[in-house]
Amino acid sequence: MPDAAPPTPGPRAELLYCFCRLQMPAVNLPPERCEHHLQRTLVLYQQKVTEPITWEKYLDHLYPLDWFLASACLEGNRSAWELLFASRAGRSDCLLMDALRARAARLYPRDEERQDTAVADFWGHLCISETPGSVPVMARFDGQRPLIPWLIRVFQNWHISQLRKHAPAQALPDDDLAMPMQANQEIDTRWREVFAEATGDWLAGISDEEVLLLGLRVRYRMSQREVAQFLKVHEGTISRRTDQLREQCLQHIAKHLTQAGWTGDDLFELIRTEMISRLLDAPRLSVDAVARILAKKGKMAPG
């Protein structure tokens, strides 16, 4: 068992509290509750890693405002919930609720009732356990990553696991779904960060034409046929370009991870759980960025 961290975080807890209150003055979380949640999330994070975690290391990697907002939501703070509801998903300028609906539309195409139910149920279980003895979604947040992308990823992975429950393949082994996980089943925070860096590096190096193709497929959820019709090119051309783009991406990310020391057997698992959210959060694939590329071609963004 890892050694326990010191019983209190010391003066940094007071600085953290003052900083969060200055940044979010409407969220009035009492200092003692702030310290309670700090202790709670440290223990939560310690369960996910094998090495002992000190307060210094935990606080160095804390996303303070995300952590503060999640903690206040767990306390039932109305202002915190209003801020969460108005939160934007990455730099795409998309509301959290809209991002969840977009994921639901991909998971349950042409089934609007199920899409609405999926989003409503997830929102309702953020601070209320889904089943007796289970942990509410927001109580699983450890503060060591951005809150909004994490919520979107948890939503997506939970529904994918439900869709795959009766399939031969195993459900997604993501630590956000069932905590704590065994160490050999967990894709730790470091590899998520390396993956994000590799994805960003790859996106920075592709052409505007490739960005446009990726944006239409991922951001606007268009099929190859729809993209071909929209750009007035042959569908086979779009198919070949898509395959080439996919292969380039996989090779770049695999090389980047290998150079960083990746020894995991299943790179596909990491790509499956991380890729879509990374692409949707990428500035080059934002609605405005794709619209600018289309404008150069004299085209309007898809309706």
Place of tokens 């198919």: 239
pLDDT tier at 164, thresholds 50, 70, 90: low
The count of structural domains within the chain is 3
* Chosen domain end from 120, 147, 181: 181
pLDDT tier at 94, thresholds 50, 70, 90: confident
Q: What is the pTM of this model?
A: 0.54
What is the rounded distance in angstroms from the CA atom of residue 67 to the CA atom of residue 80?
A: 11
pLDDT tier at 91, thresholds 50, 70, 90: low
pLDDT tier at 187, thresholds 50, 70, 90: low
Residues 90-112 have a mean pLDDT of 77
Please report the pLDDT score of residue 134 as a whole number. 76
The answer on pLDDT for 1 being more than 50 is: no
pLDDT in tens, 278-292: 888 888 888 889 999
What is the rounded distance in angstroms from the CA atom of residue 161 to the CA atom of residue 170?
A: 8
- What 8-state DSSP symbol labels residue 303? -
Residues 128-155 have a mean pLDDT of 85
Residue 273 near residue 188, CB atoms below 8 Å: no
What is the rounded distance in angstroms from the CA atom of residue 292 to the CA atom of residue 35?
A: 46
Number of Cβ within 10 Å of residue 26's Cβ equals 12
Asked, for residue 275, whether it belongs to a domain, the answer is: yes
The answer on pLDDT for 172 being more than 70 is: no
Copy the structure tokens of residue 9. Answer: 């975080």
* Chosen domain end from 181, 202, 217: 181
Asked, for residue 302, whether it belongs to a domain, the answer is: no
- Structural domain boundaries enclosing 106: 88-181
Please report the pLDDT score of residue 128 as a whole number. 80
Please report the pLDDT score of residue 266 as a whole number. 57
Number of Cβ within 10 Å of residue 170's Cβ equals 10
